[in-house]
Amino acid sequence: MSNMTKPTLQQSHGPAYTRIYAVGAARGENAVPNADLVGPIDSSDEWIQQRTGIVTRTRAGADVSALDLATESAREAIEKSGVAPELIDLVIVATISNVQQTPSMSAVVADRVGANPAAAYDTNAACAGYAYAVAQADALIRTGVAHYALVIGAEKLSDVVDPTDRSISFLLGDGAGAVVIGPSEFPGIARTVWGSDGSKAGAVGMNGTLTEFRDGAAEWPTLRQEGQTVFRWAVWDMAKVAKQALDAAGVSAADLAAFIPHQANMRIIDEFAKQLKLPESVVIARDIATTGNTSAASIPLATHRLLDEHPELSGGLALQIGFGAGLVFGAQVVVLP
Ligand SMILES: CC(C)(COP(=O)(O)OP(=O)(O)OC[C@H]1O[C@@H](n2cnc3c(N)ncnc32)[C@H](O)[C@@H]1OP(=O)(O)O)[C@@H](O)C(=O)NCCC(=O)NCCS
């Protein structure tokens, strides 16, 4: 390279800001009441309602996959966004319940919705997966690597529940929520506060590996949790993360129109509201009562319902926070579409 000039690599630059254009949703078609689940776990409708706020959860039939739910929610989000699907050049699916390790759900969804040949990948950050994917889409658009992104949280958790497990199975539901993200005239997605604590990996996750299952050393792997450990972590550490996300956005609780936490447990949601000192004017997402905990899908599903029930929230600020297996967490303030 002695007397040759070293070429300077070109770098891309995108728009200064991004925002969420529209939300789509698909819930499992069956409403499963507590009464249907209590037998094998020696529980009761009353206990589940008091301890979790869940009355029924949505679950999909045997012929509907997480991929189908993802596709349905994506189609709605794209249609509402007004963005032509062929302009979408990034598709991220956040999920922990794809039944195949490869190919990804995202590449297939991209093709199904008319976004082929968009860059497409799945991301596994459990119940924080949607917040992680929103952070990625925002950053990739602002650096000019992508122009329009489809972000989906999609889960069929009923595939990974053990009906005899009383630690988590009764919490879980099936569904998918999708958003289209693109350039904006104003900041529509504030800086994400995210992170992990792998020292608590054992607090929630699968109870076995696929190779153990293959070798007959374990049952079909299903979700388990140390409920109290996760509960305490959520109410103490995650309330702090939620406050950091407000600081990162340069806003206060009183500026919010809505609070959309991961739908893990109604008592956790209530505790967050108390610790964040949310004024009465802030509408709190409580989709868990009839949808259950749908992991990566829970925040976009709750957002979809909130906008259906309170269309006046459109354009307002929402604080969203996801947290779960890893442990991992992600939170950001967004402008509601
Ligand atoms: C799972 C969870 C609902 C359990 O509620 P909890 O109030 O912590 O319950 P505990 O484990 O303290 O148990 C309290 C009592 O209920 C009983 N119990 C536990 N699970 C039960 C169930 N499914 N049905 C009925 N009783 C149950 C316990 O045996 C205990 O009985 P005891 O007081 O006679 O000893 C709660 O811990 C939780 O929601 N955790 C966090 C969930 C979460 O955010 N997960 C994130 C991953 S997505």
Measured in Å, residue 111 CA sits from the centre of ligand 1 at: 42
Domain ranges in the chain? 17-184, 193-335
List all residues whose CB is within 6 A of at least one atom of ligand 1.
41, 43, 47, 51-52, 127, 166, 170, 204, 225, 227-228, 230-231, 234, 264-265, 268, 293, 324
Q: Domain 193-335, what architecture?
A: 3-Layer(aba) Sandwich (3.40)
CA 221/CA 185 separation, integer angstroms: 46
The confidence score (pLDDT) of residue 110 equals 98
Q: What is the pLDDT of residues 184-237, one digit of tens each?
A: 999 999 999 999 999 999 999 999 999 999 999 999 999 999 999 999 999 999
Mutate to test the pocket of ligand 1, among 231, 295, 299 (most ligand atoms within 8 A of CB): 231
CATH topology of domain 17-184: Peroxisomal Thiolase; Chain A, domain 1 (3.40.47)
What mean pLDDT is predicted for residues 126-154?
A: 98
pLDDT (0 to 100) of residue 1:
53
Burial zone of 117 (CB within 10 Å; 0-12 exposed, 13-18 middle, 19+ buried): exposed
H or E element that contains 27:
strand 17-27
Strands 258-261, 317-324: parallel, antiparallel or unpaired by DSSP?
parallel
Q: What is the pTM of this model?
A: 0.96
Give the pLDDT confidence score for residue 3 in this predicted structure: 65
* Confidence at residue 298, expressed as pLDDT on a 0 to 100 scale: 98
Q: Do domains 17-184 and 193-335 have the same CATH topology?
A: yes
Measured CA to CA, the distance from residue 289 to residue 19 in angstroms comes to: 28
Q: Give the CA angle between residues 159, 129, 135 to the nearest 5°.
A: 160
30 in active site: no
Q: Does the pLDDT at position 102 exceed 80?
A: yes
